Amino acid sequence: MVDVKNVSLTIGKNEILKSVTASFEKGGIHGLIGRNGSGKTMLMKCICGFIKPTQGMIIVNGKRVGKDCDFPDSVGIIIETPGFIPYYSGYKNLKLLADLKKKITGEQVKAAMRHVGLDPELKRHVKKYSLGMRQRLGLAQAIMENPELLILDEPMNGLDKEGVADMRKYLLELKEQGKTILIASHSTEDISVLCDTVCEMDKGVLTKLSGW
């Protein structure tokens, strides 16, 4: 599903990624671990087409990002804190985004919200959401168009114990449906419960860990 080939990224004088090569197979959950500033988020942004690597190539579902397409098709994304219009409800935010592509109906938006434990009929403005509710809304946005690939940067942030358990269960269900998931997490428990393969980022260098 995702091939990263000799990707390097330099911003100013900072070498963010150093000859990163990895393959993430279709239908699995693939973990990225590493300290803050190790390069995990930047690698995800490169895969999504948000940042162009200094060298190397990234191929998603057979298409080279930045050449065959600006952004890969059929990808759901959570990178950093999801941004929403604060004075709209959760449903109104997602419906506004869905209307841009016109791929899904309002009922499908509501179904995505229910899947992640949110009430689509709640009129509360997003500015009054807790961090955990915002994170759930971000996941609803990522899944609502039924993408083949999910790229999730710290998706459990702000969730309580019950929320984390719900999210893990749901991600495993998505894997059973044949989805491919790339997840970055600081939680070794999340990684151990969810992931089929694990790579570690350290100062821009990616190493695949054995035994997963």
Residue-range domain boundaries for the chain: 1-74+149-212, 82-146
Instruction: Convert the pLDDT of each residue in 163-205 to its tens digit.
Output: 888 888 889 999 999 999 999 988 888 888 999 999 999 999 9
pTM score over 0.85? yes
Q: Answer for the pair 101, 76: CB distance below 8 angstroms, yes or no.
A: no
Residue of 200, 83, 61, 75 whose CA lies nearest to 137: 83
| Residues 6 or more apart in contact with residue 40 via CB below 8 angstroms | 32, 33, 34, 153, 184, 201
Q: Is beta strand 55-60 parallel, antiparallel or unpaired with respect to 63-64?
A: antiparallel
The tens digit of pLDDT for each residue in 69-107 reads 888 888 999 887 677 999 999 999 999 999 988 889 999
Q: Is 1-74+149-212 assigned to CATH 1.25.40.10?
A: no
